[in-house]
Amino acid sequence: MPPHQITDHELEQVVSEVISNARQREEIYLPRAVPLTVAQKEAMRPFFPGRLLNHVRLLELQHERVPNPTYRARAEKRGYKLMLDFPHKAVIAHPRLIIIQEKLSLRLLFHGLVHAAQYAVLGRDRYLELYVRAFVQTGAYTRVPLEVQAFQLDHRYTEDPSLPFSVEDEVRKWSSADSYSLPQIANSAI
């Protein structure tokens, strides 16, 4: 069954709920998080500014998983299937917090830091609004431009970690080019 159509007002409500949920999740988990280690900072310094590396905290969950937000079940009833499944995500990123739910690797840390850099450039509310709007249009989180860029940069990093580049510059380029927004589709089915 295809997703049901959603009104602009409903979309605004969903964006608001996603923002609220992300803030709550960050408040719950941030007190348990720790700064990046010196070794992690050194490995990531060729790609991320020091202020970001000093700002972000890391939480490795061992015997627990981040639960799905309540809005996920409502979205599934509306026909959305390819959503983020928080308990099964390896990395969940926030502006100040990266939650790792698998064995920590530099690749996972890099991916989370890409999202942290996107948050830093765009701001939390704008990042989440762009994410939700793109998901509503595409129906799959893997086609959300914020994720597409994170996976592209993640791949670029893993291809050769010895070749430095500025993730923040890449994010700014995408933002300036409005590459995080998808063309608006009239009466988009969500």
**Residue 190: pLDDT over 70:** no
* Helices assigned H by DSSP within 45-105: 50-55, 71-77
β-pair type (97-100, 91-93): antiparallel
Contact 83, 72 (CB under 8 A): yes
Question: Residues 175-184: what's their mean pLDDT?
Answer: 86
Distance CA 4, CA 188 (A): 9
Give pTM, 2 decimals: 0.90
**Residue 160: pLDDT over 60:** yes
pLDDT reported for residue 120: 97
**Residue 40: pLDDT over 70:** yes
**Residue 45: pLDDT over 70:** yes
Distance CA 109, CA 53 (A): 11
Q: Band of the pLDDT at 188, cuts 50, 70, 90? A: very low
Q: Calculate what percentage of the chain has a pLDDT beyond 70.
A: 91
Q: pLDDT of 62-97, one tens digit each?
A: 999 999 888 777 777 776 665 678 888 999 999 999
pLDDT reported for residue 3: 53
In eight-state DSSP terms, residue 35 is E
pLDDT reported for residue 38: 98
pLDDT reported for residue 93: 96
**Residue 168: pLDDT over 60:** yes
Task: Report domain extents, the chain.
Answer: 8-176
Q: Band of the pLDDT at 4, cuts 50, 70, 90? A: low
Contact 76, 142 (CB under 8 A): no
Question: Residues 125-131: what's their mean pLDDT?
Answer: 95
